[in-house]
Amino acid sequence: MPNRSFILNFLQPLPLYKTERPFLANVSPEVGFNPKIHTNIQVEQCQVDVTDIRPRISDFKLEKCGFQVTKHETVVSVFDTNESMERYRRESEQLLTKIFGAVKVRTWDSQLRINAPVEDGVFDMTDPLAWDKPARSVHNDYTWTSGPITMKERLTEEERAEYLRPGLRYRMINTWRTLVPNLQNSPLAMMDFCSLHPDDLEVSDRVRPNGSGELFHVYHNPKQKWYWLDSMMSDELLVFVTYDSKAGDHARICPHAAAEPIPGEEYLQSSPARRSIETRSIVITRC
């Protein structure tokens, strides 16, 4: 499979993180922006060989490496209303139910992203139509602690009573779709779970006006194996796991990030700007 070098942003291995957790605070407008209270995260840009999976796309399975590509054409053509976003989330639930043979799927979040300058002002995190920038720091959305907490928060009381019981497996599953054809600009890079060492992970705090949670940031390790799908089309859906309640040596998370061109290949950024949509879902299956 052909390789291409990209720049990925990893957490710097600072002595600070031995005594203080990395954190990112999304503060309310009344607080104002202050770098000291906004974040203590510092990244290092590393040139990484990223392998194109297209020549053997069917070999990559979520259970083994943490991600897979599923052919799926959405019926939603324009994401410009709350109704269209809701329709896309319901479509995601139907697809994930089919893929996993799930007894319950709850798609509780969707996010539009665009690789373009974001206007100064207040970013409304509750607006499903707000376009955010690509997530450039290598991360996994949940930790072993925040995964089950988030799941319980997103299920209703009736659903918790019905589904939080022995004999069921709980996963947090993301989907990611490009909204431009032949994507080259800021594609999503995925790490093979089999190449991840536990010491590569650092628990980080994510603070928001309505609460806080944890995610994993990731240190660079030359043994890590990274992959992408060259010239991705909108009917090629990335499906990857960000938490799995089942113990074992199978893939339970999947670190990922937007990949940026190395010096000399800036022409990739002149291709149509990346626009994408992602979802986050709870997927419950029988063990």
Of 2-6, 74-78, 149-153, which range is least confident?
2-6
**What is the rounded distance in angstroms from the CA atom of residue 195 to the CA atom of residue 162?**
36
Q: Is the pLDDT of residue 217 over 60?
A: yes
CA 4 from centre of chain: 21
**pLDDT by residue (tens digit) across 158-213?**
999 999 999 999 999 999 999 999 999 999 999 999 999 999 999 999 987 777 89
Mean pLDDT for all residues in the chain: 93
Mean pLDDT of 67-71: 99
CA 170 from centre of chain: 17
